[in-house]
Amino acid sequence: MELNGRVAVITGGSGGIGKSMAKAFLDEGAQAIVLADLHEETVLATAGELDCDAMVCDVTDETQIVRLVDETIAKYGRIDVFCSNAGAGGVGLLTDATNDVWQRQWELHVMSHLYAARSVLPGMLERGEGYLLNTASAAGLLAAMGSGPYTVTKAAAVKLAEFLSITHGDDGIRVSVLCPQGVNTAMAPRSLGDGQTDGIIEPDQLAQTVVEAIRDERFHVLPHPEVEEYVRRKGDNIDRWLFGMRRLRRQSTGEA
């Protein structure tokens, strides 16, 4: 899909990846961008800077997602691209992460994508075209060893995107899942779990990868291309991959 003349919604749009995607889409000739974010002051400031629309939205509340979609369609007549991008880091393993942490990560990284798809798909299906871009993480394809809630929910986000593509790909709906390693944002990790990333990239560089992936209609959006090879190795021999990850965990914790 070409972005020229398109109407796009971007959640988590007040800064970082969301803001950079908005800038890149506008450079491609997008007709309109609606930025949605939980933080009113920052999303209004970003929208004013980029000459976009803005809306305060808690993506874990389905009624607010429905309002975002309905008001965008009321103004522009359609949504061509919905970027479900909002997310947050999470810490803890299986035993020390509270149920509240697990639930919050689930709602933010999985249910928000589901709410967006439920809300925007009817209009897209009626027109016979549309694009869903869900932000997950390389951790969803591999692992972030320092955070069980983050890794598990990001993996679920990838699986949800796969299911959407399988279910609606023949209906003209294109789906991509964005899976970066480290990005230089406010929540930028300096490592992927306890293993080193393949470099911390700038959000603008990531946004260009997103534009190219949407143009080519690629499912995996991998700003760190090395991730593709890691996923291939994991698929080739899961037991060897798990052994290697356990060894990396032992090294990072100083265990023998």
Domain range summary for the chain, segments of one domain joined by +:
7-228
Give tens-digit pLDDT for 170-221: 999 999 999 998 777 665 554 444 444 667 888 889 999 999 999 999 999 9
Marked catalytic residue, from 115, 131, 150, 230? 150
pLDDT at 198: 65
pLDDT at 254: 64
- Is the CB of residue 221 less than 8 Å from the CB of residue 213? yes
Instruction: Find, among 191, 199, 210, 178, the residue nearest to 248 by Cα.
Output: 191
Instruction: Could you please state the CATH topology (level 3) that the domain comprising 7-228 is classified under.
Output: Rossmann fold (3.40.50)
Q: Is 150 a catalytic residue?
A: yes
Residue 4's contacts (CB-CB under 8 Å, 6 or more residues apart) are 28, 29, 30
* Sheet with 220-221: strands ordered across: 53-56, 32-37, 7-11, 81-84, 130-135, 173-178, 220-221
pLDDT at 190: 47
Digitized pLDDT (tens) for each residue of the chain, 256 residues in all: 999 999 999 999 998 899 999 999 999 999 999 999 999 999 999 999 999 999 999 999 999 999 999 999 999 999 999 999 998 887 778 778 899 999 999 999 999 999 999 999 999 999 999 999 999 999 999 988 778 999 999 999 999 999 999 999 999 999 999 999 877 766 555 444 444 466 788 888 999 999 999 999 999 999 999 999 999 999 999 999 999 988 888 887 666 5
